[in-house]
Amino acid sequence: MSPDLIYQIALTTIPNIGPVQAKILVNAFGNAEGVFKAKKDTLEVIDGIGEVKANSIKQYNNFASIEDELKFVETHKIQPIFITDPSYPQRLLKCYDSPTLLYYRGTANLNATKIISIIGTRNNTEYGKQVTEQLVTELKPHDVLIISGLAYGIDSIAHKSAVQNNITNIGVLAHGLDKIYPAQHTSLAKQLLLNGGLLTEFRKGTLPDRHNFPKRNRIVAGMADCTIVVETANRGGSMITAELARGYNRDVFAFPGRINDSKSAGCNYLIKTNKAVMLTDTTQLVQALGWQQKKIAKQPQRQLFIDLSPEETVLMQLLQERETVHIDEIFLKSGLTSSTVAAAMLNLEFQNIVTSLPGKMYKLV
């Protein structure tokens, strides 16, 4: 656990200091500890800080509660991800108001090559359910990470369909990791942990209050290459998320619905006002995002003269399935111990079969 973590968590709890100011401060002092140890007059002259915010920093005295948070994080094997961490979602980092610190439980790579968000109404129709399930099922061959908000309706349908199709997916929460809301999705959340994860910016004990959901929605919008609105009324969280995605300069797609169906009124409005591209099938989405699979000549010669151990063979098979694979996914799917995987991967690298990439990713040479 990083020695700077106590200061990183504390930085998120200082009155008058939000994500924008926190990013400015970290850029100025290099890390969270540097922010707390800076002199008041040095803080005051930083753009966007001033006297009031500088006083809030210097008068902060709530480190005791942070110690309690640290124990919770360690006990439940939660991964805190600060904005300077290489594993922080880089798409989200580009958003001006990206969260200062994320709390993550899971195995999915938050910087996967292809990420989409699927959102919609909590009170879906059968049409919305069918569209969501068809979309997710047809995305299976494209090695995509799906993100949604673990809410009732379209969100949960997207998560359940992803689980059924063995597609990696992440639920973004509007509260701390000490609870699941709605409680009826506790079992679903456990399934997500097996092939994906749960992500939030909120500390334990944070309730799913109304004002937390727009904050949650900006993570859903900011982490993805595009946001897909399946079914929504003219007002609500999905419309907020779509607007956030547009503000982050991300693609927004919407499925059209009947003109007299209130559950599709929001989608139809987004399409009518050119705030979203009308989506009718998965092929259109794949083409729009440039995800067409390119035929690559196979190179069986790579293995002809290589004597691999059974463990190395398992890892080779995993790496052949995907262009890049995160080390956590290798551990999970191989069923091997961490020390065995480390030794086998090192041997494959020595033989110039495998190469390591930033963010604990690996690929075949």
pLDDT digits over 234-288, tens only?
Answer: 998 999 999 999 999 999 999 999 999 999 999 999 999 999 999 999 999 999 9
Q: Could you tell me the pLDDT band of residue 336, with boundaries at 50, 70 and 90? A: confident
Per residue in 148-163, pLDDT tens? 999 999 999 999 999 9
Q: Give the best-scoring range by mean pLDDT among 60-74, 184-198, 299-313, 326-340.
A: 184-198
Supply the pLDDT for residue 56.
94
| C-beta of residue 111 within 8 angstroms of C-beta of residue 326 | no
Q: Which stretches does DSSP call E strand in 42-149?
A: 79-82, 101-106, 115-119, 145-148
pLDDT exceeds cutoff 90 at 326: no
**Per-residue pLDDT band at 364 (split at 50, 70, 90):** confident
Residue 138 and residue 133: Cα distance in Å, rounded?
9
pLDDT of 327 > 70? The answer is yes
- Rounded to the nearest integer, the mean pLDDT of the chain is 90
**Reported confidence tier of residue 293, pLDDT bands at 50, 70, 90:** low
Percent of the chain past pLDDT 70, that is, above it, reads 95
**Percent of the chain whose predicted confidence (pLDDT) is above 90:** 73
Residue 180 scores a pLDDT above 80: yes
Say which CATH class 1-74 falls into.
mainly alpha
Greater model confidence, 227 or 327: 227
pTM: predicted TM-score of the whole model, two decimal places: 0.78
Q: Assess whether pLDDT exceeds 50 at residue 303.
A: no
Asked if residue 215 has pLDDT above 90, the reply is yes
Name the residue ranges covered by the structural domains of the chain: 1-74, 106-288, 301-364
Q: Is the pLDDT score of 206 beyond 90?
A: yes
Question: How many other CB atoms are found less than 10 A from the CB of residue 321?
Answer: 9
Of residues 359 and 24, the one with the higher pLDDT is 24
- Is the Cβ–Cβ distance between 192 and 163 less than 8 Å? yes
Architecture of domain 301-364: Orthogonal Bundle (1.10)
pLDDT band at 297 (very low <50, low <70, confident <90, very high): very low
Answer with the residue of higher pLDDT: 345 or 214. Answer: 214
Whole-angstrom Cα distance, residue 147 to residue 29?
A: 33
What pLDDT band is residue 306 in, cutting at 50, 70 and 90? low
First to last CA, the chain: 33
Residue 201: is its pLDDT beyond 90?
Answer: yes
Which residue in 225, 84, 209 sits closest to 147, CA to CA?
Answer: 225
For residue 1, the model assigns a pLDDT of: 64
Per-residue pLDDT at 343: 79
Please give the CATH topology (third level) of the domain spanning 106-288.
Answer: Rossmann fold (3.40.50)
State pLDDT tens for residues 120-136.
999 999 999 999 999 99
101 beta partners = 82
Whether 298 shows a pLDDT value over 90: the answer reads no
**Residue 362 burial by CB count (10 A; 0-12/13-18/19+): exposed, middle or buried?**
buried
What average pLDDT score do residues 56-68 get? 90
CA separation (Å) from 122 to 177, 276, 361?
Answer: 22, 20, 36
* Amino acid 295: pLDDT: 43
